[in-house]
Amino acid sequence: MRFALAHLILACAVLMTTATASATPLFMGLGVPPDLPNSFAEDISADGRVVVGYSEVIRFGEPQSGLDQRAWRWTFESGLTTLDPLPEATVTRADAASGNGSIIVGTSQKPGVSGQIDLSLSAFRWTSETGTVGLFRGNAYGVSADGSTVVGIGDPTGSSRGQAVMWTLEAGLRGLGFFPGGRETAARDVSSDGSVVVGYGDHGGTGNNEEAFWWTESAGLVGLGVLPGSYRSYGLGVSHDGTVAVGVSIFVEGPGETTEAFRSTGDEGMIGLGDLPGGSFRSQAHAASSDGSVIVGYGSSLTGGGNLGAEAFIWTEDGGMQSLQQVLVQDLGLDLSGWKLVSAAGVSADGRTIVGYGLHGNRQEAWIAIIPEPSTALLLSSGLAVLVLRRRAARGR
């Protein structure tokens, strides 16, 4: 019996030691900059190694009043480091990272009169070689895997209308157009190869009538519709392969507003993802894995840690929408004492590494979580379960 137990222990040890870092459950806070009270993760590189986001505080008095917001980059090796802003800018926010995290895009603002922020937004692109470089007047929200394509909101024609835009190394800035009769569009994400853009735009007239879209060179803007009973939708993310769009559909306007996260494909159309149990019905999807099989965002629950009971979720076709915190604690045995995970903002290509922000004590802090591959976790748990059963059997003899 001892010989068999020894071999079982050795087999489990080998299985553990040969597993990659991505196969090991992990949760950790990313910290905050030295002089700022919080941190918010906005995206993670496709390889799961680089996280980007921002920290902010409202300052009063000298030397500078108003919003102080700084973009940052986090890695396992270097921790959290802030990015240099554009000249004279005091507000800088990082929103997206390239496939390996070497290129980061976001938005900077310069202080206006009396410390107020003016409307001169500058989309930027950052690399370690060039630092922070301005691209165009507007906001940058998404970047392709190789960093050569950036999407966001701009005004390429000088019409004073916000338009979904694409910037490339080869061609510079171009507008992606409007819906017929529409006044504004916004691009929020782009596929890894830069060929598919997801965002939203209005249809003109009065009232809120925004609709999620995806854009390709051949088809232009294609509306994704809304969920049944809803009256507007917003596309917020796209899978790395460009086949799945995610976002939110709005049902009721006002204090009792109801929202539902959606997943949309060319074949299936728009499908609602539901909400977490408890609380008001509110959910929103932010990002998807390489093939769209894993989606992250936030839902509403009685145990949520943020406004309106917001709580980070993970969605898969087999498991549906689940509380990410419950998965990490109950299924993987991780210790999240003192944490409430409010929202998940980004996910790696393989769907195993997720980032977002939560309440940690008395501050809001970015976090990273790694979920092992099911096969590895099953083998480990099965091996350990057999070990426990054999130990019990041995004790009973």
Confidence of residue 208 (pLDDT cuts 50, 70, 90): confident
Helices 2-18, 374-396: axis angle to 10 degrees equals 160
Q: Read off the pLDDT of residues 343-371 as tens digits, 9 standing for 90 and up.
A: 999 999 999 999 999 999 999 999 999 99
Confidence of residue 306 (pLDDT cuts 50, 70, 90): low
325, amino acid identity = Q
Residue 325 CB neighbour total at 10 angstroms: 25
Spell out the residues 6+ positions from residue 201 whose beta carbon is closer than 8 angstroms to its own. 164, 178, 179, 182, 184, 185, 186, 210, 211, 213, 221
Q: Which tops the pLDDT comparison, 371 or 12?
A: 371
C-alpha–C-alpha distance, residues 187 and 141, integer Å: 7
Q: Read off the pLDDT of residues 17-53 as tens digits, 9 standing for 90 and up.
A: 333 345 689 999 999 999 899 999 999 999 999 999 9
C-alpha–C-alpha distance, residues 51 and 20, integer Å: 19
Give Cα separations from 341 to 149, 233, 326 (angstroms): 32, 25, 10
Residue 388: which H helix or E strand, with range? helix 374-396
C-alpha–C-alpha distance, residues 390 and 397, integer Å: 11
Peptide linkage before 63 cis (omega within 30 of 0): yes
Residue 56 CB neighbour total at 10 angstroms: 18
Q: Which tops the pLDDT comparison, 118 or 212?
A: 212
Confidence check: pLDDT of 374 > 80: no
Give Cα separations from 47 to 7, 197, 240, 385 (angstroms): 35, 21, 11, 32
C-alpha–C-alpha distance, residues 317 and 348, integer Å: 17
Confidence check: pLDDT of 386 > 80: no
Q: Read off the pLDDT of residues 316-326 as tens digits, 9 standing for 90 and up.
A: 999 999 999 99
Domain boundaries, given as residue ranges, for the chain: 1-24+375-397, 50-143
pTM across the whole model = 0.86
Q: Read off the pLDDT of residues 131-143 as tens digits, 9 standing for 90 and up.
A: 999 999 999 999 9
C-alpha–C-alpha distance, residues 253 and 256, integer Å: 7
- Strands of 144-228, DSSP E: 149-154, 163-168, 172-175, 185-190, 197-201, 211-216, 220-223
Cα 154 from chain centre: 22
Confidence of residue 266 (pLDDT cuts 50, 70, 90): confident
Q: How many residues does the chain have?
A: 397
Report residue 317 as tokens.
């076709």
Q: Which tops the pLDDT comparison, 355 or 59?
A: 355
Percentage of the chain modeled with pLDDT above 70: 81
Residue 323 confidence (pLDDT): 97
